[in-house]
């Protein structure tokens, strides 16, 4: 026998979505997702992939990479909140109620958005449970990823950031976790000098490959040529950008010219100026978009 999901369950799911999706609203301006990237857009850092240093980026860009998943989480919660706010009461066992139940009045009294369209559907429906649990599980995944990175960056081996002890306690509900995460991010202290010290010439490999492509070398060949240059640097015991031009030119004529074109870390990062990239303007544009994404929440 099918049974209608209690309206109180749906209200709890709706309330849970509402609490989580508005948790950022209580944050002070300095704790909002775009505040910290705005302050750290001049700090350089290594971008990591699979635990290995890959390319130079801005620290603000790293933080923004964790802000966007939370924007999507909020959108999912808002969507789930709209969809679960449906009244099942008055559906009876499966064919509708035999009593003259005013379902519209019940809906309004319980603060729900609409009444269910089909009694047979709603008495067997458990979508509202799965949707909300999925959205919250994904939030947990995103927060876990952020936490793992911060723990790594705060370790003695990295020393990129210092975390405040004020947010070191455990929290067992999403409504408490989200403000705590906001506070932890707002209060962390980045060490720009340690970040810059971790930058290594090997991070310029992608720049060299790009220069080769600009010189007419097929993209499929450029990375292999740079790989040979990296091995030559390792064998000589020198940094990638200190390989003699003659050695580079022996690998490929365009490699010597590419080495001579390497500029500063700033020029390397500024070269990634596509939308969504790590250049100063790209980061500033992302911060503006992030601020807009939270306008409905903060209004």
- pLDDT tens digits, 16-49: 565 555 555 555 555 555 555 566 667 899 999 8
3 state DSSP class of 6 = coil
38 and 124 together in one domain: yes
Task: Return the pLDDT at 1.
Answer: 32
Q: Does residue 150 belong to any structural domain of this protein?
A: yes
Q: How high does pLDDT run on average in the chain?
A: 85
Q: How many domains does the chain have?
A: 2
The DSSP annotation for 104-166 comes to HHHHHHHT-SEE-S-HHHHHH--HHHHHHHHHHHHHHHHHHHHHHHHHHHHSTTT--EE--GG
Is residue 181, in this structure, part of any structural domain at all? yes
Spatial contact of 58 and 40, defined as CB atoms under 8 Å apart: yes
Boundaries of domain holding 242: 201-262
pLDDT of residue 20: 58
Give, to the nearest 10 degrees, the angle between helix 7-21 and helix 127-154. Answer: 30
Residues 193, 205 share a domain: no
Question: Are 12 and 97 in a shared domain?
Answer: yes
Specify the pTM: 0.79
What whole-number distance in Å separates Cα of residue 189 and Cα of residue 178? 19
Nearest partner of 41 among 277, 257, 295, judged by Cα: 277
Which CATH number covers residue 281? Answer: 1.20.200.10
Phi and psi for 52 in degrees, rounded to 5?
-115, 145
> Is 246 a domain residue?
yes
Residue 111 sits in the same domain as residue 220: no
**Secondary structure of residue 13 in the 3-state scheme:** helix
Amino acid 166: pLDDT: 81
Tokens of 252: 């490929």
114 confidence band (pLDDT: 50, 70, 90):
very high
């Amino acid at each position: 026998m099918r049974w209608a999901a209690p309206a109180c369950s749906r209200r709890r799911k709706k309330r849970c979505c509402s609490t989580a999706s508005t948790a950022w609203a209580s944050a002070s301006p300095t704790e909002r997702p775009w505040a910290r990237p705005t302050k750290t857009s001049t700090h350089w850092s290594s971008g990591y992939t699979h635990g290995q240093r890959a390319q130079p980026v801005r620290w603000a860009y790293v933080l923004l990479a964790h802000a966007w998943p939370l924007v999507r989480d909020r959108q999912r919660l808002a969507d789930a909140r709209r969809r679960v706010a449906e009244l099942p009461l008055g559906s009876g066992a499966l064919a509708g109620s035999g009593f003259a139940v005013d379902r519209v009045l019940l809906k309004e009294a319980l603060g729900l958005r609409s009444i269910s369209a089909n009694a047979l559907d709603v008495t067997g429906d458990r979508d509202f449970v799965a949707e909300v649990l999925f959205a919250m599980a994904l939030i947990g995944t995103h927060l876990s990823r952020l936490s793992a990175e911060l723990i790594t960056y705060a370790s003695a081996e990295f020393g990129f950031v210092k975390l405040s002890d004020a947010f070191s306690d455990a929290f067992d509900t999403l409504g408490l976790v989200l403000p705590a995460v906001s506070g932890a991010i707002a209060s962390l202290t980045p060490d720009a000098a340690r970040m810059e010290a971790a930058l290594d010439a090997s991070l310029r490999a992608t720049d060299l490959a790009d220069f080769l492509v600009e010189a007419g070398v097929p993209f499929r060949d450029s990375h292999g040529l740079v790989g040979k240059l990296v091995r030559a640097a390792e064998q000589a015991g020198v940094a990638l950008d200190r390989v003699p031009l003659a050695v580079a030119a022996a690998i490929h004529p365009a490699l010597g010219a590419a080495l001579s074109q390497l500029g500063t870390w700033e020029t390397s990062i500024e070269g990634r100026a596509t939308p969504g990239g790590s250049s100063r303007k790209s980061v500033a544009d992302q911060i503006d978009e992030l601020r807009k994404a939270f306008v409905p929440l903060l209004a």
